Amino acid sequence: MQWFKVKQVSQFLFLGLIFLSQAVFAQSNNYPNKPIHLIVGFAPGGGTDIVARALAPKLGEILGQTVIVENRTGAAGTIAADFVAKSSADGYYLLMGHSNSNAIAPFVLNKVPYNPATDFSAITYLGYVPNILAINPLTPANTVNELINIAKTKPGEMTYGSSGIGSTQHLAGALFGKIANIDIRHVPYKGSGQAIIDLMANQISMNFDTMPPLLEQIKAGKLKALAISTPNRLQSLPNLPTFNEVGIQGFDVTNWYSIMGPKNMSPALIDKINKAVKLAMNESNIKATLDSQGLQTTGPSTPAEFTAFIKTELDKYQKMVKDLNVKAE
């Protein structure tokens, strides 16, 4: 009799697993049957927004539903990240995951309402865009060393903008100040757009923003670029030296982008979105657009590799934030 009960329970468990598997398959097979919201944590016109809007139309075409880019700005992208973390795991609310919200801000801000290591499903790594040190053309410096020399004569007077406290730009400026041994003040914004406007108006001294929102202004002569955070020079800016070339060693701060969802998304659903994003990224027009914006697509290619990458980034930035003593202001 005891054996019969155990056998009966095992059969129920087996049937339950079958029904669960069928439900998961049905969910991914029917997905999507309504518009998908791609949540961006930064203002329109910034690098994250540019990449999201380049990708969304083709992704929607592949999946057979409209992909709506929705900006939920503030707190270095953590407002958007928290919104997605608390959304249903059905794939209709996805996050433009970013090194700000998913690797740096949790160690800088006083309180972040999610766990970056456990509250998200890692779907697809998109790539990273380099940071460019840009200044106003009126600033009498044509090289990084000339800018450093000016800053040394004005300790605490020169400023750098960022897309918010706990952003890569915030950390980049702090790291640059430490390596160059200069005292520069941080001015946080709610996104890259206003910081760039103020830089062009000479209201702040410098910016360490991503390439997409700066490129047009640099080519138009409205901003002056001094260095870029790639290992080698880029074809799109062949005359711009790297930080390593100008003697700023160890400038390891990059803005990476990704597609992430809430935790507990089914593997089948993650796989479906992952494949759709990769197809969209490889479409010639989109690839050309993203290449022109400096997106470097080398990196983890599977959800498992991306999950491991996030852990490495969290470890790296936790140490960097502590070493630089960067805190919410």
Q: How high is the pLDDT of residue 80?
A: 97
Residue 248 has pLDDT above 90, yes or no: yes
Q: What pLDDT was estimated at residue 7?
A: 53
pLDDT (mean) for 162-182: 91
C-alpha distances in Å from residue 194, one per residue of 74, 138, 161, 170, 206: 13, 19, 9, 15, 13
Contact 108, 170 (CB under 8 A): yes
Q: What is the pLDDT of residues 18-70, one digit of tens each?
A: 454 444 444 568 999 999 999 999 888 778 898 999 999 999 999 999 999 99
How high is the pLDDT of residue 6? 47
Average pLDDT for the chain: 89
* Residue scoring higher pLDDT (5 or 172): 172
pLDDT of residue 190: 77
Between 108 and 150, the higher pLDDT residue = 150
CB 113 within 8 A of CB 101: no
**Per DSSP, what are the bridge partners of residue 209?**
132
Instruction: Write down the pLDDT at residue 329.
Output: 63
pLDDT of the residue at 16: 52
Give the count of alpha carbons within 13 A of 277, CB side only: 27
- Flag the least confident range among 151-160, 175-184, 243-252, 285-294: 285-294
Instruction: State the pLDDT at residue 236.
Output: 81
CB atoms within 10 A of CB 11: 10
For residues 158-170, average pLDDT: 89
Tokens matching residue 236: 């799109």
| pLDDT at residue 24, rounded to an integer | 46
Output the pLDDT for position 218. 94
pLDDT confidence tier of residue 242, bands split at 50, 70 and 90: very high
pLDDT-wise least confident of 26-40, 56-70, 118-132, 200-214: 26-40
pLDDT at 249 over 70: yes
- pLDDT at residue number 291: 85
Q: Which two tokens stand for residue 9?
A: 């329970």
Which has the closest alpha carbon to 158: 221, 208, 215, 219?
Answer: 208
Q: Which amino acid, residue 43?
A: A
Query: What are the structural domains of the chain?
Result: 31-129+255-324 (3.40.190.150), 131-228 (3.40.190.10)
Which whole number is the average pLDDT over 130-145? 96
pTM for the predicted model, two decimal places:
0.82
pLDDT at residue 235, rounded to an integer: 81
Model confidence pLDDT, tens digit, residues 308-324:
999 999 999 999 999 99
